[in-house]
Structure 1
Amino acid sequence: MSAHSIHEEDSHGSLGSYLAGFVLAVVLTAASFWLVLHGGFPRETALLGLAVLAAVQIVVHLVFFLHMNTSSTQRWNVTAFGFTVLTVLIVIVGTLWVMHNVTMQMMSR
């Protein structure tokens, strides 16, 4: 058993998939810069657009560079990633909720 036999069944991508991921990442980054530098959108719309572009770019990186998919060999990686996302969302939403409640309590005085 060689040191590399554990990962022989895993697909590590091809040059075409890496190029497609790179082009998509560059296009999404350029779109984000254009959205900010154009300045023709209201602040809320620009922030929402940046959030959507960031989420799409995260998915592009996960699929094309980290090779995460729904195959049975990736199930534990996807589960761990889902748990991480859920934990981060709980921390962020909880922090915002606490900060909002503190602000409301201080404004009432």
Structure 2
Amino acid sequence: MLHAHGDTQGQGSRRGYRVGSVLAILLTAIPFWLVMSGTLRDAQTTAILIFAMALVQIVVHVICFLHLDTRSEGGWTLLAFLFTAVIVFLTIGGSVWVMFHLNTNMMPMPDKMAGPMQ
């Protein structure tokens, strides 16, 4: 079998795909069960757990299905992925920060101006 220049790792094994699939199903089913059963009465705790499981699921997909690690292509694919993640985090975080401060620092409207224009 011929390999292109720079190919240092295979596409993955059946075992890796099975493990990734089982983990992805569990990391989807558990948050669904948490919400539908109402096991946790606190909505904030439920949201934090769902967010944490979503982050773990991202890692599972990146490792099991995208095969990003330090060995593939000399680590450049992982570096590109991390750079993209940082840019996305800065863009979303900056947007939320700007919207929060715009909402906080806007001048309040007097009551008579809040109604429909006449």
- TM band (smaller chain): 0.7 to 0.9
Alignment correspondent of 1:5: 3
**For residue 46 of structure 1, what is the aligned residue in structure 2?**
46
Q: Give the number of the structure whose alpha-carbon radius of gyration is greater.
A: 2
Q: Which moved more, 1:35-44 or 1:50-59?
A: 35-44
Corresponding residue for residue 14 of structure 2: 15
**Which stretch shifts more, 91-100 or 34-43?**
34-43
Query: What are the equivalent positions in structure 2 for 1:1-109 lying under 5 Å apart?
Result: 4-6=2-4, 9-41=8-40, 42-71=42-71, 73-106=73-106, 109=108
Bigger fraction of residues in helix: 1
Q: In the TM superposition, what is the alpha-carbon distance from 1:97 to its structure 2 partner?
A: 0.6
What CA distance in whole angstroms lies between the structure 1 residues aligned with 2:13 and 2:72? 20
TM-score by length of 1: 0.87
RMSD of the alignment, in Å?
1.9
- % identical equivalent positions: 38
The whole-number CA distance in structure 2 between the counterparts of 1:50 and 1:60 is 15
How many equivalent residue pairs? Answer: 106
Distance in 2 of aligned mates of 1:72 and 1:56: 21
The answer for unaligned runs of 5 or more in structure 1 is none
SS at match of 2:49: helix
Deviations 1:62-103 (A, max 9, x none): 111111112262511111101110111111111111111111
Q: Could you tell me the TM-score, scaled by structure 2's length?
A: 0.80
